[in-house]
Amino acid sequence: MNDKSVNTIVNWKDLNLSQSDLDFIYNYLLEKEVPMTSLELSKAIIDEHIRLFRKELQKKEKSRGQVYRPNRDYQMGEEILFPLSDNQKAKVINIRQGNNPDLPDFNAITFLFEDGTEKEFAGSLQDHRLNSFDYYSSDSEFLLDPEEVLDRFGGSISKKVRQLLAQSDGLFTLADFWFPKALLSEVNLGYLNLAEAALEMEEGQPVQTRKILEAIEYPMDSNDLLTEFSFNYALYKDDRFDEVGPTGKVLWVLKLLEPEDVRKKPLTLKYYGIDSEKADINGYSLDHLQIHDELDPDNQITPETEIKTFDICINYPHWKAGSLPLIGSIRPIFPTALETDKVIFEFVDKNKSSKFPGWVLVKENYVSGLKQWYRENHIIPGSFIRLRKIDNSTDVEISMIPPRSSKDWIRTAVFDSKGKIHFEIRQQPINTDFDERMCIYVENNPQLDLIWDQNNKPDINFGKLVENIFKEISSDNPQGIVHFLELYAAVNMLHRCPPKPLLATLIHNDHFEILDNYYFKINSKESKLETEYE
């Protein structure tokens, strides 16, 4: 079809949704009387846009004249539109009886086209595919098959539908189901108290809504889906309850029974310094160093190709907290949710074939639940942990990576009689593969927590702290040279700091001199002045 003005009515690739679409969805939900997913509502939106498009085409067709159909009885001089012949118009100039023994009676109609050609077409023929043929769907730009539209553009349309629905204060959503708040039934406070008691008996284990309703003997009506959704809304509004299920699944727990490092961010993951995006690193890039730090915005970019297995390096703050940095590379491995900020799942220990609970803290960018696993497997800061996505499951497999040897010479954090931390190279037992520069063996010394508290305050002199740590870890090197990764690992033993602010501190501090390949040393001039002063 050549009338391209019609195409703007239904552009699936760049479909724009408006208030009228939101009104349609609202009325559609009222009509269906059940909560529906964004995908189901996207199908309805597609059907509605096709309906409106066809209606507009009919108007166009009427304004330009009748479209050729074999079943019509044509009159001499009548003008007809032929969409399959470059949208030309043609005039009836002759009508005669058709002659074909294989067909029922019909007329042979001669048409004179705008380009001067004459062609014969059938008329008064009731059985022919062009009688119901959709001329416009034959053009891929006017795709009018709902299933094909959903298959080709369903992802982007569903995303736009969710964004549209989120703009409405009148709709409630949970696990990507949507319904008008005004039509949800009220839930008596007594039943919410019973729900609290039922969840207390589960001792922090997540529970589906239907199981809660059965446990408290909640009265159900004929529309059980709407009843369950109404109860979900009541639980959602009550601060005692947390919805922690992955996308498409509703699970409830009591907030008071959640692990402490889920209810509040662990101390070693809190950062008080400047935003990484504001750190001036003079055009230097840390991408090739592959530091797995969730506080670095560049690490939050999700790769275009989905990764199912990833070896992640654990720094001291996460080792201490029993957590993982939720960087972009591993986000596809873990379950997520559209509405809730907390998602519970199961870790599967590959080495022991056992399971234990884990939590994804979506907005806080960390995964919790590994403290006991780290300690039992003698994981140390700087170790590599292998994560693998399990197909068709929200479980995540976790395993150690066999090291080259059971013992190795690595940097070790030790304490003197005054409680001051020092770093020495000592031979230590190794249970999993590790990064040679970032690995630090930690002695179980309670003074480390005290030192952490002293060095993690908003008013800390970070530059001075970096200088002290640099001197400490460079003392075993005759040239006094330290690689950036070594310093990053050591600094994060005492103070939470992402890589870019640390690099900015080194670059803009006259005490340090940057060498090739991200090695640093104390500036010789500064070092000489300090010696003379002493």
Q: Residue 172: in which H helix or E strand, if any?
A: strand 171-174
Mean pLDDT of the region 383-394: 94
**Mean pLDDT of the 365-369 span:** 96
Whose structure tokens read 């702290």? 465
Separation between Cα atoms, residue 208 and residue 274, nearest integer Å: 42
Element (H, E) at 123: strand 118-123
Q: Looking at residue 139, what is its pLDDT?
A: 45
pLDDT beyond 50 at 472: yes
Q: Given a cut of 90, is residue 397 above it in pLDDT?
A: yes
Quick: pLDDT tens for 295-345: 999 898 888 888 899 999 999 999 999 999 999 999 999 998 878 899 999
Domain boundaries 285-400, corresponding CATH code: 2.40.330.10
| Mean pLDDT of the region 27-36 | 93
Bridge partner list, 253: 242
DSSP secondary structure code for residue 258 in this structure: S
pLDDT at 1: 35
Q: What is the pLDDT of residue 62?
A: 66
CATH for the stretch 71-127: 2.30.30
pLDDT class of 3 with cuts at 50, 70, 90: very low
Q: 184-258 with 408-429+439-533: one CATH topology?
A: yes
Q: Which residues does 185 contact at the CB level (< 8 Å), separation at least 6? A: 226, 227, 230
Q: Does the pLDDT at position 141 exceed 80?
A: no
The reported pTM is: 0.78
Q: Tell me, what's the pLDDT at 415?
A: 80
- SS3 of 414-434: EECCCCCEEEEEEEEECCCCE
Residues of the chain with pLDDT > 90, as a percent, come to 59
Would you state the pLDDT for residue 307?
87
**Sole residue written with tokens 């002695």:** 443
Domain boundaries along the sequence of the chain: 4-63+138-174, 71-127, 184-258, 285-400, 408-429+439-533
pLDDT tens across 177-231, in order? Answer: 999 999 999 999 999 999 999 999 999 899 999 999 999 999 988 789 999 999 9
pLDDT for the residue 525: 57
Q: Measure the CA–CA gap between 372 and 494, rounded to whole angstroms.
A: 22
> What fold characterizes domain 408-429+439-533?
Arc Repressor Mutant, subunit A (1.10.10)
- Average pLDDT over the chain reads 88
Among 358, 356, 352, smallest CA distance to 330 is for: 358
H-only helix segments in 128-266: 146-166, 189-201, 209-215, 224-237, 260-263
Q: Which residues 6+ apart lie within 8 Å of 228 measured at CB?
A: 209, 210, 213
User: Among the CATH numbers 3.40.50.10860, 1.10.10.60, 1.10.3470.10, 1.10.10.10, which is that of 184-258?
Assistant: 1.10.10.10
Q: What is the pLDDT of residue 329?
A: 93
Which tens digits make up the pLDDT trace of 417-433? Answer: 777 888 899 999 999 99
Name the 3-class secondary structure at 525: helix
* Whole-number pLDDT of residue 480: 85
φ and ψ at 59, to 5 degrees?
Answer: -65, -45
Give the distance between the most distant pair of CA atoms in the chain.
118
The per-residue pLDDT for 396 is 96
Lowest mean pLDDT among 137-151, 268-282, 372-386, 394-408: 137-151
**CA 331, 335, 340, 346 torsion-angle sign:** negative
In a 13 Å sphere around the CA of 283, the CA atoms on its Cβ side amount to: 0
Instruction: Decide if 111 contacts 118 (C-beta within 8 A).
Output: yes
Digit-coded pLDDT (tens) for 286-302 = 888 989 999 999 898 88
* 526: pLDDT strictly greater than 80: no
Q: Which two tokens stand for residue 83?
A: 């969409």
One DSSP character per residue, 198-209 reads HHHHTTT--B-H
